[in-house]
Amino acid sequence: MIWFLEGQSSQRDIIQGARDALPPEVKIFASHRDDRPEITAGADMSFIEPRGSEDRISWVISTARTYGIKVILAGRLGGVFEQARARFEEAGLVLVTGGTSMRTFDLVDDKSRFTAEAERAGLACVPAITATNTEEMFAAYQTLLASGEVCVKPSIGIYGQGFWRFKEGTDSFRCFADPDARVANFATYMRAYSEIASPPAMLVMPYMPGSECSVDMVCEAGRAIAFVARRKTGVHQIFENAGAAVELALKAAEHFQCDGIVNVQTKDDAQCIPHLLEINPRYSGGVGYTREAGVNLAGIFATRRLNLPEPATVWRPDVRVKGVTVAAVVPK
C-alpha cells in the first residue's frame, strides 16, 4: 500500500505512473486538502486532508495504520512532515519527504542559504545578493547592472513565483500587460517594493540568458536512481539524460541529501555553462512529461519503496513535448 499526499496538479501523473507500474493488488491511496477528484480519481481510495499541520500529521498516521498503508510520499509539505519523522517511524511507517533530515529543507527552502551552501560546496550556482529593503535592493541592482541584465526572485518561494527580469527601457505597464513574460521596469518594481511595510527578502541576481534545464529524479538518500532532464527551448521541451546540466543536478541532489521524487533546476549562462537555480524537494509540475522519454519516475519510486520489480526503462531519443490544456472527467 502506498499513499500520495497532496502535491501539485501533477499528483495525477504521479498516481497514474505508480498505477501503471504496480500490480493491481497493491492499492494506491491519494489525498488533497480540497475536493479534487480530477487529480485523485486514479487512486483506489482518496481522502480530503485536514488543513491544520498538526491535525494533518495525526490524521495521516492514524489513517495509514487503519488501512495498512506502508509508504507515504509527503508532497508539497515535505518540511512539515520531516519535522514529525520520528512519529511516523514509531508507527512503523515509511515516510518520504524529499530530504533525509531537516537540514535538506533548511538549506533549499531559503534561497539565500541555498546559494551560500552551493558556493561553499563548489557547485556552480547563480550568484545572488540578498536585499531586505529598498536601499539594499537599489545597491544590489546597481552593482549587478554593470555586468548585464538583472533579475530578482523571493528568498523563500516555490514554482518560480515572484521572479522578474529587469530590462532597461521597458514600458512601465509591460508587467501588467504581459505578466507571463516576467519582464518588468526596475523603477516600477522599486516603487511597489518600497510601499511594503515589511518587504520580503529578495535575491538580486545577474540574468542568465541561456536555456533552462529542469531535472526530475528519483533519489534515495542523495543517490539518483533514475532521472530525466527537460530542457526548455521556446514553447517546447526536449529530454536529456546526460551532459553538464544533468551532472550538476545530480551532484546537487547528493550534496543536499534529496530523497524521493525531486526536481533540480539549472540555467545556462552566455557561454552555455549551467548554474544551479534551485532544488525543489518535491515532484515538479512537469514531471508527467518525462513518461514520453520512456522513463516512469513515479513507477520506479513506488516499486523500489515497496520492494517490487521496477518498470522497464527504454530511453526515447529525439522527443519534444509541449503542455496543452485538457479536460478531465470528474467523478460525481
pLDDT tens figures, 233-262:
888 999 999 999 999 999 999 999 999 999
CA pair distance 5, 225, nearest whole angstrom: 22
CA pair distance 114, 265, nearest whole angstrom: 13
The whole-number pLDDT of residue 330 equals 75
Nearest in space to 105 (alpha carbons), one of 124, 88, 84: 84
Beta bridge partners of 276: 125, 266
State the pTM of this model.
0.91
DSSP code at position 253: H
User: Please, what are the domains in the chain?
Assistant: 2-96 (3.40.50.20), 127-206 (3.30.1490.20), 210-321 (3.30.470.20)
Asked whether the predicted pLDDT for residue 173 surpasses 90, the reply is: no
Asked whether the predicted pLDDT for residue 190 surpasses 80, the reply is: yes
Average pLDDT (219-232) is 97
Dihedral sign for Cα 57, 58, 61, 66, please: negative
Residues 6+ apart with CB under 8 A from 322: 235, 236, 237
Percent of the chain past pLDDT 90, that is, above it, reads 80
CA pair distance 2, 221, nearest whole angstrom: 19
Please check whether residue 102 is in contact with residue 79, taking contact to mean a CB–CB distance below 8 angstroms: yes
Digit-coded pLDDT (tens) for 19-53:
999 999 999 999 999 999 999 999 999 999 998 77
Nine cell digits for residue 53: 499541520
CA pair distance 218, 98, nearest whole angstrom: 10
Asked whether the predicted pLDDT for residue 329 surpasses 90, the reply is: no
Strand segments, DSSP code E, in the chain are: 2-4, 28-32, 45-48, 71-73, 94-96, 98-99, 129-131, 150-154, 164-166, 183-184, 202-206, 212-220, 223-233, 236-240, 258-268, 274-280, 320-321
Dihedral sign for Cα 57, 97, 215, 253, please: positive
The whole-number pLDDT of residue 159 equals 61
Q: Are strands 212-220 and 223-233 parallel, antiparallel or unpaired?
A: antiparallel
Upper half-sphere CA count for residue 247 (Cβ side, 13 Å): 6
